[in-house]
Amino acid sequence: MAQTNKTPNALINESSPYLLQHAYNPVNWLPFTDAAFEKAKKENKPILISIGYSACHWCHVMEHESFEDAEVAKLMNEHFINIKVDREERADVDMLYMQAVQLMTGQGGWPLNCFTLPDGRPIYGGTYFNKGKWMEILKGLSNLYLENKEKAIEYAQNLTDGINQSELITTQKQNDLAIDKDLLKASIDKWKTGLDNEHGGPNKAPKFPLPSNYQYLLRYAVLNKDKELLKHVELTLTKMAYGGIYDQLHGGFARYSTDILWKVPHFEKMLYDNSQLVSLYCEAYTLTKNKLYKEIAMDTLSFVQQYWYTEEGCFYSAFDADSDGEEGKYYVWNQLDLKDLLGEYYDVFASYYEINDTGYWEHGNYILMRAENLHETLSKFNLTPDQLNEKINACKDILKQESKSRIMPGLDDKAITSWNALMCTAYAKAYLSFGIDEYKQIALSSINFILNKLSNADETLLRTYKNGKAKIDGFLDDYAFTIEALQHIYLITQDEDYLLKAKNLTTIALKQFANQKSDLLYYTNNSSSQLVARTSEVSDNVIPASNSQMALNLFYLGAHFGMEEWTKRASKMLNCVANEIKQYGPGYSNWGCLALHLLYPFKEIAIVGKNVNEKLLALYAQGLTNAILAVSAKDSSLPLLTGRFNSQKTMIYVCEEQSCKQPVETIEEALLQLG
């Protein structure tokens, strides 16, 4: 029996939207604090650590089936100390217990439910369980702990040892494999066997739009003149843009497609996906000049700006998959409503957006997908491209207006530092790619929000912000992506203070996240509340690994500041994953981008003079694959710029391994030097 609890539990005082969703459950939820563990020890009860996030569909299902149920809650409250965790706020907790569950079951996901001893060592776990199975597990584990505690402790110790052993293997192994072009080729050749060259992406479902994968494949294809691979990347970007995974009406991407056609999305939208996809489409546009990519990047930024960007300069985290209790309800349309709303325009709209067997989903509803054969629509209705665009835009305006009467998906209105930094970088890259000044202003507003609201007086970072309050020590990804964003803000402003801030933040990170036995860094800082094991984030996923991004930061900043020890450290970090890159390239694609910098001719481009911004935008728009840019409108002491300022001219220097060609004044001459 579902129960709406009139008395809130301890989560009512939290700021996380996900935790607040559970604040009126009859389960006596506690937040993840030392006090919760002390309570477990005092009452001699095992702990349930239940992890999810606000936009997670199956998290909601399990809540409705079990956590709102009085019978289930009674069982949980009597026998366990129950802790609810927002995985986005406490990514360290999620990382640790995800690893535990994966070691136990071979798979993971959310909701993530892990049972532990009172000290936090894991005993048993899994993901979603229906009510019947969940009650069985609660009873079984309660009995185990009460009647055979030694066995429970043995399980927990073995599992914790397994986590620590896995960490040792990941971070401290001696890698005898050298990263070279042959290794990358072997990795790419293996990767190619799993590609879908009809629909784009991998040849399996579900399909995630993994931006770092396609960024790496795009760069590899360009550097190696691999036309087959370039064609696959372009196919993938086009299919995603035309598919249901892309919100054809409002802009922005859903988290993944449940099928091979990019048709039926899991409807939640995440800031981290959309930020990286904007960056990817911007880069693809500069390299291919495909106008579709520019359109998708700009429409996605419009969506972000309208729904997630705040006056303070921060970005919200996510939209839920569900609205009005149904997944996808906000986004899908039935034929009768469309005909009624669009009138004489319906037939054109239906042809353009696949209101047919292709776009049909379920229960009479259609997912808007863009028809690939535009010529067919133009011919069928005897329209010019401009006339078609006019009609389609009119239809979109009507449907957007109608959408306002629908219940919006739930909004996760907390700000996560690393995700905000990713979107800051996306706006900076969009400015560099398209020259639209508004993008520059939003990027500046974003970085200033991070520096002013998510930073302590000593420049260390905090993780999350809501209702005027920042909290939780920053994790390595918060540092890694903020450092990346600062480098892009330096580019678009030509203000070296941002580059110096990136350098200072890197110095802090190297100290605070140091692993004395490895070149790789821990995910949590040295002073953070200790979990039962300390782990490192190494493989690239929907967000690149914090270690791979830190390695790239060290490489770039080593070049900017002439710090050879940082450049060497980046190379050493890369070497730690040489075997992994060879075996499974898709899991190490951001590392692959660093490998390309180290193995292929890498250009250092300096632009100095009063018209530096104009030249920068013109050169960036040509597409740069393996280069670093240094810019200044005045005299500079940075190694790539020193002694090069000329108040009368704007000069472009193209260098490689600190050996420079004759400085030139035009973009055309610079492009010739770049080859």
Residue 173: the pLDDT is 67
Residues of the chain with confidence (pLDDT) below 70 = 1-5, 173-176, 528-530
Structure token pair of residue 415: 């700000």
Contact 558, 551 (CB under 8 A): no
Query: Pairing state of beta strands 469-473 and 256-257?
Result: unpaired
Query: How far is Cα 455 from Cα 281, in angstroms, rounded to an integer?
Result: 30
Residue 28, phi then psi, degrees to nearest 5:
-80, 65
Q: Which conformational region is residue 191 in: left (phi greater than 0), alpha (psi within -120 to 50 degrees), or beta? A: alpha
Residue 2: the pLDDT is 47
Q: What is the pTM of this model?
A: 0.95
Q: Looking at this protein, which amino acid is placed at residue 211?
A: P
Cα–Cα nearest to 520, from 90, 87, 168: 168
Give every CB contact of residue 184 below 8 A, 6+ residues apart in sequence: 220, 581, 592, 595, 596, 599
Give every CB contact of residue 401 below 8 A, 6+ residues apart in sequence: none
Residue 649, phi then psi, degrees to nearest 5:
-135, 160
Query: Pairing state of beta strands 47-52 and 81-86?
Result: parallel
Identify the three-state secondary structure at position 136.
helix
Contact 323, 406 (CB under 8 A): yes
Query: How far is Cα 29 from Cα 50, in angstroms, rounded to an integer?
Result: 9
**Displacement of CA 564 from its chain's centroid (Å):** 30
Contact 261, 242 (CB under 8 A): no
**How many other CB atoms sit within 10 Å of the CB of residue 502?**
24
If 0-12 CB within 10 Å is exposed, 13-18 middle and 19+ buried, where does residue 39 land?
Answer: middle
Residue 1: the pLDDT is 42
Contact 606, 630 (CB under 8 A): yes
H-helix or E-strand spanning residue 366? strand 365-366
Extents of the domains making up the chain: 10-172, 331-405, 603-674
Contact 471, 462 (CB under 8 A): yes
Identify the three-state secondary structure at position 465.
strand
**CATH number given to 10-172:** 3.40.30.10
Query: How far is Cα 502 from Cα 496, in angstroms, rounded to an integer?
Result: 10
The CA R_g of the chain, rounded to the nearest whole Å, is 26
CA distances from 369 to 125, 238, 275, 293, 434 (A): 39, 12, 22, 16, 26
**Displacement of CA 72 from its chain's centroid (Å):** 35
Residue 30: the pLDDT is 97
H-helix or E-strand spanning residue 235? helix 227-242
Query: How far is Cα 161 from Cα 171, in angstroms, rounded to an integer?
Result: 15
If 0-12 CB within 10 Å is exposed, 13-18 middle and 19+ buried, where does residue 182 land?
Answer: exposed
Residue 5: the pLDDT is 57
Cα–Cα nearest to 546, from 580, 517, 503, 510: 510
CA distances from 449 to 415, 470, 489 (A): 10, 11, 13
